Amino acid sequence: MTGTPEISLTPSAAARVAAIAQRQDKPAILRLAVDGGGCAGFQYRFALAEAVEADDIAASRDGVTLVVDPVSLDLLRGSAVDYVESLGGASFQVVNPNAASGCGCGTSFSI
C-alpha cells in the first residue's frame, strides 16, 4: 500500500492487545468501531474479535490485527490506535485526523 495507511496500530497498542488476547485465549484481533452517541456525537468502541470479516479493512503490527468495518472507516480514515499509560490511568486512544473536536473522556468526538 502506498500513501497514508487507512488505519494503523502503534507498537504499544499492539503489545497491549497481544497481552489481553493471550490472557483471554482469543485471537489478537482488535475491532474498532464508531457508534452514534457519547458526549460529542460519536464514540469509539473497542472489542476483541474472533475473526476478520470479509468487508473489514485491516492493519497489522507485530502479529496483532486492527480491523474496522467500512461504515466506521469513513470516520476513522488515517487514524492510529495507541495505548497510553499515565497517572490518570491506562487506555486505548484513537488519534483521529477527522475529528473536529473531542471531549475529556477521550472516547467521544465530533466531525
Instruction: Tell me the domain boundaries of the chain.
Output: 7-110
- CA–CA distance, 69 with 65 (Å, rounded to integer): 13
Residue 2 has pLDDT above 50, yes or no: no
Tens of pLDDT, residue by residue over 54-89, are 999 999 999 999 999 999 998 899 999 999 988 878
The CATH architecture assigned to 7-110 reads Sandwich (2.60)
pTM check: above 0.85:
no
Burial class (CB in 10 A: 0-12, 13-18, 19+), 60: middle
